[in-house]
Structure 1
């Protein structure tokens, strides 16, 4: 289904996922038309970035860096209260009291503690997450071929996002460990510049990365306490995992909005409307994402704060119900808003460089 003019091998565009206006106008058989009608995103004519070229992936990485880094930094106060509710539920009993205690004990500065590792860490994660997601989505679609990529598109989204998150969380993990320690242990460090060296001095470089580590007074071994829960939060071994909720759910929601709620084909919608759809789809996906990944998020906060602690210790102290519900309402609001804003910013950046927004196949206008 690729354009017959791309004989040089330079174009990497899989026409069943993305298509230029020239490709859309080519005569195709009925079977191909059905595929394109449901699974095609037209690239803007003014785009100077070749789809799926190195420049395209760089643009996606920059968009991901901006979307994730800025949004996570902006909700630092909410994140601090959430982490403290997870670490010390007897002291931080509710969202309201949590803000009050934080203000009383640490002042206004306390609400922004850990903003630097948050910005740097989630910028690195966002660049890897979005850039590699686009790469793996194309890669797995090419392996599947046009017909199966359309038929099993949710699995393509799932595989692509899971692969990307695996890499992205390695980039995030060191900064996440420092962030949690700074936010939940006043006096540990002011931020990233002094917190990172102090963390390394206390636990070594291996404490920031995935390495086998002996548990004191125990003959067993366990993996680094941060990266495994992070992978568990992002890529659990169950069908309804966080990555599917955040990426595949987003893509399917956006597709459903264009198919059922908006009578105009996507390529005829204004950029403002398309970005509004991106935000709405991201917000709904974020709500599901928060609910599914919350237990592992509690584990990340607990294990990073309690040196030598195990998953069993977390379950014993917080309880199964506590792991699933402690700080959940705040996280639903935070992750829903974050995810909606992230997709909005990400797609806004893509539009600014002449690329199409994410998701929502273009349906040709009916003949008159």
Structure 2
């Protein structure tokens, strides 16, 4: 059984975790804006129904212009700057707390799946408080052409016309989307690393080259990205519908139930292919950048509770 070292992270360490998470998420999500635009159109625009990422991109270019592929870049960059910092720093914080609550190394390793899931879920909840209004603006800009010129005007219009209620209308579906996403992202990544390291002896692990370490992070991130996309996609589809104003009136839970029934299994997974490609790129690049930025900031590594 591997030892569990619980470091005493300082406020500066958590600030470094936040900065690394914020930068890796805003860079990766910002770069993926064109794919996300096409994915959202496939989910909410009848003209894009049944199209894939390549054919959908061609249709956007034909009907509009290359600039349309950057629609929503502002709220994407700002939203994921806040959300990414809170999520990554929160995961480090809650994993440390839950490992301490476990009491000893054997208990922590035995219940590591629950620790990963719980830490990711709690961190994502608080991160989504920051993300939800900006995600609502992004989806409105992408799905309703001409709604506003950018982040500031879109946020102002939505706040003026609907207030906090409209800005946070998607909070429940965004939780349903982002919490499973975080579960897949962090938990699957942890277990991919564990599987790789369990196949190595101690000397090999200690003497891993930089290239090998980056390769492990990249491969683990790709697998975790696929898992995150599959787990979160139905709620992602419903979130796009909610923010475009679809569905009946009533409580959010009722609206989600009706929309899910109307969409059916096939409809809930519309656009999954493009999103799997996008999410694999997002998650793998985030973990690579997160590690490199932490190293540049001299931040300590996170807690490992892998089973030997």
Please give the TM-score of this superposition, normalised by the length of structure 1: 0.76
Partner of 2:2: 35
The equivalent position to 1:228 in structure 2, one of 162, 172, 177, is: 172
- Of structures 1 and 2, the one scoring higher in RCO (CA 8 A, sep 6+) is 2
- Equivalent-residue separation in structure 2 for 1:151 and 1:176 (angstroms): 37
Q: Does 1:76 align with 2:33?
A: yes
Partner of 1:197: 156
- Equivalent-residue separation in structure 1 for 2:55 and 2:259 (angstroms): 23
Partner of 1:314: 259
Normalized per residue, which structure has more helix? 2
User: Is the contact between residue 182 and residue 189 of structure 1 (CA under 8 Å) also seen in structure 2?
Assistant: yes
- Equivalent-residue separation in structure 2 for 1:362 and 1:280 (angstroms): 18
Q: Does 1:288 align with 2:227?
A: yes
Partner of 1:259: 198
Partner of 1:114: 72
User: Is the contact between residue 194 and residue 307 of structure 2 (CA under 8 Å) also seen in structure 1?
Assistant: no
- Equivalent-residue separation in structure 2 for 1:105 and 1:362 (angstroms): 51
Q: Does 1:62 align with 2:19?
A: yes
User: Is the contact between residue 114 and residue 183 of structure 1 (CA under 8 Å) also seen in structure 2?
Assistant: yes
**Cα RMSD, aligned residues only:** 2.3
SS at 2:2 equivalent: helix
Flag the 1:117–1:233 CA change in 2: closer, same or farther, 3 A.
same
**How many corresponding residue pairs?**
300
Q: Does 1:149 align with 2:108?
A: yes
Partner of 1:348: 292
Alignment of 1:102-141 (within 5 A): 102-141=60-99
The equivalent position to 1:298 in structure 2, one of 234, 237, 242, is: 237
For structure 1, list consecutive stretches of 5 or more residues without a partner in the other structure: 1-33, 42-49, 210-223, 236-240
Please give the TM-score of this superposition, normalised by the length of structure 2: 0.90
Alignment of 1:44-59 (within 5 A): 51-59=8-16
- Equivalent-residue separation in structure 2 for 1:362 and 1:182 (angstroms): 43
Flag the 1:363–1:99 CA change in 2: closer, same or farther, 3 A.
closer
Q: CA deviation at 1:265?
A: 4.3
User: Is the contact between residue 109 and residue 306 of structure 2 (CA under 8 Å) also seen in structure 1?
Assistant: no
Q: CA deviation at 1:266?
A: 3.4
Structure with higher Rg: it is 1
Flag the 1:261–1:267 CA change in 2: closer, same or farther, 3 A.
closer
- Equivalent-residue separation in structure 2 for 1:363 and 1:118 (angstroms): 37
For structure 2, list consecutive stretches of 5 or more residues without a partner in the other structure: 249-254
Partner of 2:57: 99
Q: CA deviation at 1:352?
A: 1.7
Flag the 1:362–1:244 CA change in 2: closer, same or farther, 3 A.
closer
Q: CA deviation at 1:264?
A: 4.2
Partner of 2:251: none
Deviations 1:294-340 (A, max 9, x none): 100101111011266422442354323210x2000111111011100
Deviations 1:226-282 (A, max 9, x none): 0101111133xxxxx433221111111112112216774434323343232222211
- Equivalent-residue separation in structure 2 for 1:151 and 1:312 (angstroms): 36
Deviations 1:29-70 (A, max 9, x none): xxxxx431xx559xxxxxxxx851111111000010011111
Partner of 1:4: none
User: Which stretch of structure 1 is more off in the superposition, 295-304 or 345-354?
Assistant: 345-354
Flag the 1:312–1:137 CA change in 2: closer, same or farther, 3 A.
closer
Flag the 1:229–1:328 CA change in 2: closer, same or farther, 3 A.
same
Flag the 1:92–1:359 CA change in 2: closer, same or farther, 3 A.
farther
Partner of 1:277: 216
Partner of 2:44: 87
User: Which stretch of structure 1 is more off in the superposition, 86-95 or 65-74?
Assistant: 86-95
